[in-house]
Amino acid sequence: MKDKDYEDFVERLRAESDIVSIISQYVPLKKKGKNYWGCCPFHNEKSPSFSVTPDKGFFYCFGCQSGGNVFTFLMKMENMVFPEAVKLLANKLNIPVPEREKTEKERQIERERVTLFRANELARDFFYACLTKTNFAGGARKYLEHRGITQEAVKQFGLGFAPPAWDKLVNGLSTRGIQLETMIKAGLAAERNSGEGAYDRFRNRIMFPICDLRGRVVGFGGRVLDDSQPKYLNSPETLVFNKRHILFGLNLADKFIRETGQAIVVEGYMDVIAAHSAGVRNTVASLGTAFTLEQAKSLRSVHEIVFAYDSDAAGQNATLRALEIAKKLGITIKVIAIPDGKDPDEYIRKHGADAFKLLVTESLSLVEYSLRSSLQTIDYSTLEGKVAVVSKMIPVLASLDNAVEINEYITQTSEALSIDESSIRSELRKYLNIEKKDRIVNVGKDSSAVYLKNRQVSPTEQAEKTIIRFMCEDMSIIPYIEVQLTLEDIQDERRKKIMKSICNAYNMEKNITDISFQETLGEEAALEFSHIMLMDIQLTNMTQMVDDCIKKIRLFSLKKLYEEHRLRADELHRMGDSSFLQELAESQRINDEITKLHQS
């Protein structure tokens, strides 16, 4: 199918799908006014802030700012790319999916991906056979047995062994029809310095296949049996492997994560295997790297992430960085404080499965972990130490929404440091003011409560949102708005992009609900567009409201422009540049225009 036909098919799916019906398969929705509301599936919440508008075909969460159309929802919910979401929606609607005609470049990439997946699959089978059937893997088998890894776990995770020879894998894959170029692209082999031939990238290592969510092998991690370095060697990034997007064990853990709504994130391969063997099967690993936003997003439908990183200093620092990532998605985050042993693997081997499960149950909140970590790593017997602990705790306290929680943790912190609560409250208030948080904290002189209030939307911002909504409601007003406003008048880049796309769509006689239109916006602008389409606006007198919005937008833009020219005139005057007179004249012209607008 040609691109235009494919676009038409996608648009047909969007038009024929009932977004409320589709989302209701995942989220219970209740009608309230024109829209439907429910608890957001993308972050943990008790009060519904997830809204769906059936007539516009959009959803938006006012809590975590997730939004989009029916395809966006399926992509986020099912962790899919767009073509997969198209197929899923078509299946739900019982509409046959025609094949889109691919470009030669797309066909080439697709062929290359297939060959890389096949090479990795054959490599996994090769390593597994080496571990389970050959004599030279005796040391590897003893090592795994010593680490408590059973034969069942070896089979479940497809563990293997890379022999010490330089070209065992290269020769083995060659006999199976895999080209040397493919092995190098897959990161299984490295080209010799002479430029002739290649050698095995992994040698004398226990091999851990890394799979994507669909169970396809995308790369490998290899661990040495002795103290040689590097201890772990991972596949390089390839066309099918990007470690920022992959969590080890997710293909096995996904079912249990979705059932429980909870994911346990550890650092290493052995930690995952030990946790699964202990019956904690909703466990994944971040491949020994810093936990990334992409990895967090791959944990679909998760309401809570529990981090169980190593208990050493490096592990604690990695935990704090990971908590910041997870916090951005509005997910409840907790931390397992391992009392002894450096990692979950050691703890499970020493204390057993039930003891580790108890640690999961007793995991700490973000604030509790931050306080404990600060008290363990900082000498708070001195004034400098107390200041350092409070400095670490203030941003964490500021991230909380519940006044009762805030007061409880302020009390705990003050008792631990033997300082007055009012000092901590003062620092908290100062922090929120300096950082210009989206919340305003008011702490009474004798009050023990902290009250939080949502950020107020500025009149100009509201006017920009409203004018866009009007353009969508009645596209006949677009020519009038194009005359009255320029894109430079719009202050927000997302809304500027939306207005430009709307005007282009109008001039090209396209529908703004078309998928092709939404694809031109990009992720950030698309989210803002979803938000605008779900705004509750009373359309009493559109003509008057449009003029009011235009006036607000123009006044703000002109005042900003006036200030720029005035400051430039002052600077040129100080420099002795006579062109300041031109800037002064321009600033006066703009000021006259501002006066006329005020009088109109």
Q: What is the pLDDT of residues 439-486, one digit of tens each?
A: 333 333 332 333 233 345 678 888 899 889 888 888 888 888 888 888
Residues 207 and 225: beta-carbon distance below 8 Å: no
Which of 248-262, 270-284, 457-471 comes out lowest in average pLDDT? 457-471
More confident call, 8 vs 425: 425
Position 517 pLDDT exceeds 60:
yes
pLDDT band at 9 (very low <50, low <70, confident <90, very high): confident
Q: If we measure between CA atoms, which residue out of 222, 246, 215, 217 comes closest to residue 130?
A: 222
**E strands in 102-256:** 160-162, 189-191, 198-200, 205-211, 217-224, 232-234
What does the pLDDT read at residue 236?
Answer: 94
DSSP state of 475: G
More confident call, 435 vs 215: 215
Which of 234-238, 271-275, 545-549 comes out lowest in average pLDDT? 545-549
Residues forming beta bridges with residue 209, ordered by sequence position: 220
| Structure confidence by residue, pLDDT tens digits, 171-230 | 999 999 999 999 999 999 999 887 778 999 999 999 999 999 889 999 999 999 988 888
What does the pLDDT read at residue 100?
Answer: 66
| Structure confidence by residue, pLDDT tens digits, 357-416 | 999 999 988 888 888 888 888 899 888 889 999 988 888 888 777 788 889 999 999 999
Q: If we measure between CA atoms, which residue out of 222, 244, 224 comes closest to residue 233?
A: 222
Contacts of 177 (CB under 8 A, 6+ apart): none
Which of 202-216, 238-252, 300-314 comes out lowest in average pLDDT? 300-314
DSSP state of 485: -
Q: What is the mean pLDDT of the chain?
A: 85
Measured distance CA(168)–CA(177) in Å, rounded: 15
What does the pLDDT read at residue 529?
Answer: 86
Domain ranges of the chain: 3-92, 116-234, 250-362, 379-453, 459-599
DSSP state of 202: -
H runs (alpha helix) in 474-579 = 478-484, 493-507, 515-519, 523-533, 542-574
Measured distance CA(31)–CA(326) in Å, rounded: 31
Tell me the pairing of strands 304-307 and 262-266: parallel
What does the pLDDT read at residue 442?
Answer: 37
Average pLDDT over residues 560-589: 83
- What is 116-234's CATH number, 3.90.980.10, 2.60.120.10, 3.75.10.10, 3.40.250.10? 3.90.980.10
Which of 55-59, 168-172, 419-423, 515-519 comes out lowest in average pLDDT? 515-519
Burial 124-146 (b: 16+ CB within 10 A, else e): bbbbbebbbeeeebeebbebbee
Contacts of 565 (CB under 8 A, 6+ apart): 583, 584, 586, 587, 590
What does the pLDDT read at residue 443?
Answer: 37
What does the pLDDT read at residue 446?
Answer: 32
DSSP state of 195: S
Architecture category of domain 459-599 in CATH: Orthogonal Bundle (1.10)
What CATH number labels 250-362?
A: 3.40.1360.10
Measured distance CA(241)–CA(4) in Å, rounded: 31
3-class SS of residue 224:
strand
3-class SS of residue 437:
coil
φ, ψ (nearest 5 deg) of residue 266: -115, 180
Which of 42-56, 197-211, 425-439 comes out lowest in average pLDDT? 425-439
Residues 221 and 271: beta-carbon distance below 8 Å: no
Architecture category of domain 3-92 in CATH: Alpha-Beta Complex (3.90)
More confident call, 5 vs 269: 269
Q: If we measure between CA atoms, which residue out of 62, 63, 61 comes closest to residue 72?
A: 61
Average pLDDT over residues 57-73: 86
Is pTM beyond 0.75? Reply is no
Burial of 490 (0-12, 13-18, 19+ CB in 10 A): buried
Q: If we measure between CA atoms, which residue out of 554, 556, 579 comes closest to residue 568?
A: 579
Measured distance CA(558)–CA(591) in Å, rounded: 8
